[in-house]
Amino acid sequence: MGPVSAEVEIDVSRGCAFELIGDLACRPSFTDHFVSDFHLTRIDSCGLGAGARFRLNLPPRALQMDTVISTFEAPRRIVEHGNGGRSNRIPSVTAWELLEGSGSLTRVRVSYWTEPSQPLDRAVERLGAASLWYGRAWREALRRMRDLLESPDARPARQATIAGGNPHMTGIP
């Protein structure tokens, strides 16, 4: 399926937008309308190798997905590779591009696609309206990210936790 793309102009520096997108712990702050059960898979939540596991609430069923940052070219490009679906057998790619706009504007473009290898998975994607749903979900996510970054007093909270709890806990009360 795909690629499905969405784009928005944000009145912040490219570095500021890149910092938010590149920190997976902040991702639920603008994607929680279509993503749930978001957990980090590594202690370091940003940069090359950072990863997360989450549930994609695609009607009529939710899909378990994972993603890992495989390309981290500050401040212009982030690419994530992941897998999802039944038995984690459907590869997916999420690509973020940040371009300098006029003045202080930054243009953010996200593209998402899947590359199912099984004939059944390809047939299910063709029959469904997944690309329409993904397009709406990503447009809303970018709108929410813009509102978050442009708000003078609101900063994204690091909302995601590491799967299995806090590895820095010592057990001492």
Q: In the chain, what are the domain boundaries?
A: 4-162
pLDDT of 5 over the 80 cut: yes
What lies within 8 Å, CB to CB, of 92 at 6+ separation is 65, 67, 81, 82, 83, 84, 112, 113, 114, 115
Which pair of tokens denotes residue 78? 């982030």
| pLDDT at site 97 | 98
pLDDT band at residue 115 under the 50/70/90 scheme: confident
What is the distance between the alpha carbons of residues 62 and 52, in angstroms, rounded to a whole number?
Answer: 16
Per-residue pLDDT band at 169 (split at 50, 70, 90): very low
The predicted model scores a pTM of 0.85
Strands, sheet with 90-100, edge to edge from the N-terminal-most edge strand: 4-10, 106-114, 90-100, 77-84, 63-73, 51-56, 35-40, 161-162
Among candidates 121, 165, 155, 151, which has minimal Cα distance to 23?
A: 155
pLDDT value for 49: 97
For the domain made up of 4-162, give the CATH fold.
Alpha-D-Glucose-1,6-Bisphosphate; Chain A, domain 4 (3.30.530)
Beta strands 106-114 and 161-162, pairing class? unpaired
Question: CA-to-CA distance for 43 and 116, rounded, in angstroms?
Answer: 30
Q: Tell me: pLDDT of 168 over 60.
A: no
Question: 60 Cβ partners below 8 Å, 6+ apart?
Answer: none
